[in-house]
Structure 1
């Protein structure tokens, strides 16, 4: 049979697919959170631009195989976490000419991805190896923290998107629009100075469920504000979504690891995830559109 990529348009099917990723929890939580994120976005706006869910020959039921493309971002998963011919075929059938930011690649899928990069002679600009921390929903709901009296906690405002993007360690061409989408659609927490109303620290929830863009202004560091913001957003995620809380940390970022250790997150041993920047054809740098 001729293999081809087929799009999944039916929301009911996407919910069924998401349900497959509940098995052996939390083994497949990342795939579950991707689908959950975009299903929530679709419930608010059924006409999201540049969003497509793919599978191979319409068969997502046998191994939960799906590829999710949003703007220039690419996510892919299957339940077997093996170098299956179907997963490799599906990835090969994608149009790679425009380049992708490939996020949260599990280490077993990373072997497949690296093979694909070699086979298609793709050019990677950069790649990062991260480790995963997790806090169960029940424990997140019970977190105890106290905001200092000179500050208050609130949602992050869209007007601060440029500041957040400018200080984001994963910033890249096109990421400002991503930050704006996350502020508008996902759980987030900002810590503000009462006297001035200045945003001093913040954290957003990424599409894959992970905590991201955690930052404290340099002028307000060494006051424990990063721990407070992380605790606050973790509790919100647990209370609002009834979800476990997860975070990916650069393998060499000792300071971030201390924050999650202090709050009782557990390092998921052996769970490594990668993200990669795959350049567009015939370009020496990424030029993804900021307005898509």
Structure 2
């Protein structure tokens, strides 16, 4: 009998799967946050292009799941090094479409890269990152110092185009992603009081990581990135009662300095990857309007 991918559709099963990822906290926190994000989203909005898969309906033994939302792909299991079942599940996925593979632990990324090479698929981009974290209770105590002439507020949907245009990770379909993050996740923007202009911002990604941390070029070198990063960290801790995490590209020294300044802990040796895997035909991934 051939193995097959099966869907996890029941909310109670997804919650039970999520609880498995509390094991050895915070080792598996990324898988926990992915599940937490989409469980919360599904309570607010109908996501027609969201599917959770596992292998042979057996997610209980090792927490194995594959999440596909639009073109976003995430996968995980608890054993990490023991990956035959994860490899088997990934082989059964439809690779004719193309995916943005996000926040994948390096042990899982090794399995994924082997599959990409064997299937002669094309990686358009790939990035290795460093992992920073801060416990919830510490984040609650962060001191927020808003500069004179500015105020902090959540990011508004009207700013999605601006944020997407300046996002270094921008790609076909990312505008809709930014809109979903603004609508459903924690965000913080720094606004100029006199003009109402959005000058700096930070969003919380589906993986739980802080993302799209950006400052307008006209307002850089004034410490604004640290202001919004501290503000969103405190907000996540107080409103969601969750730890705060951030990924920083290996070559992004300015961003690393922001989180070191805020006394985040660098989890040495913990690396996460993201990449763009193109469709078989080499076409550009493009899901701009679907959620």
Q: Would you say same fold, with TM above 0.5?
A: yes
| 2:236 aligned partner | 237
Q: Distance in 2 between matches of 1:111 and 1:265?
A: 27
Contact 1:201/1:225 (8 A) holds in 2: yes
Deviation (angstroms), 1:190? 0.6
Q: Distance in 2 between matches of 1:15 and 1:135?
A: 24
| 1:82 aligned partner | 81
> Which ranges of structure 2 fall in alignment gaps of 5 or more residues?
none
> Which ranges of structure 1 fall in alignment gaps of 5 or more residues?
none
| 2:140 aligned partner | 141
Pairing 1:1-292 to 2, within 5 Å after superposition: 1-45=1-45, 47-283=46-282, 285-292=283-290
Aligned residues: 290
Q: Is the alpha carbon distance of 1:101 and 1:171 closer, same or farther for their aligned partners in structure 2, counting shifts above 3 Å?
A: same
Q: Is the alpha carbon distance of 1:11 and 1:156 closer, same or farther for their aligned partners in structure 2, counting shifts above 3 Å?
A: same
- Please give the TM-score of this superposition, normalised by the length of structure 1: 0.98
Q: Distance in 2 between matches of 1:230 and 1:85?
A: 39
Q: Distance in 2 between matches of 1:223 and 1:270?
A: 31
Which secondary structure does the structure 1 equivalent of 2:88 belong to? helix
Q: Deviations over 1:161-197 (max 9, x none)?
A: 0000000010000000000000000000010000000
RMSD: 0.8
Deviation (angstroms), 1:2? 2.0
Q: Distance in 1 between matches of 2:284 and 2:53?
A: 24
Structure 1: which 4+ aligned runs deviate by more than 4 Å?
none
- Please give the TM-score of this superposition, normalised by the length of structure 2: 0.98
Q: Distance in 1 between matches of 2:247 and 2:284?
A: 23
Q: Distance in 2 between matches of 1:158 and 1:266?
A: 32
Deviation (angstroms), 1:287? 3.1
